[in-house]
Amino acid sequence: ALSYEAMLAPLDDFPAFAMAFFQQGGRGANVTTPFKEQAWQMVDILTPRARLAGAVNTLHWQNARLLGDNTDGIGLVSDLRRLAMIGDASRVLLLGAGGAARGVILPLLEQGCRIVLANRTHARAQALAAAFQAQGEIEALPYDALDDHTFDLIINATASGLQGEVP
């Protein structure tokens, strides 16, 4: 039987915590903020979408090797499509430039969405947009430039939402 249990990892040593879990018989794990980029760095094998995302939300221990995948984007896009919230050429404002944002960019671009990235640190948003430029229409704008634009959908991929704050 499959069991699923939430575990609180220490902020200062996620890799050691995760490896101890697998060494004690764990077979798979979901990874949440703020550990997705650390998980990406520690795996032996990355799926193509995880490699491009630079973040991992799913770990699988197999044959003494750690496989990392990123299912954030495909799950989100599947729900957005099912709910008719996005279509071809939808303009999406994506707030944040961390692991959660990285995981949803490619699936959104593959659906034909046009993405505007905004992040507290504009340089980080610019670097992230540049990393995905070849996959579709994506640009980074500072927060103060957003007033001149309209969007079909806004996605908050910042950690501020976890504390009940507005990004």
Catalytic machinery residues: 36
SS (H, E, C) 63-119: CCEEEEECCHHHHHHHHHHHCCCCCCCCEEEEECCCHHHHHHHHHHHHCCCEEEEEC
Contact 37, 54 (CB under 8 A): yes
What tokens does 100 get?
Answer: 């959660």
What tokens does 69 get?
Answer: 């995948």
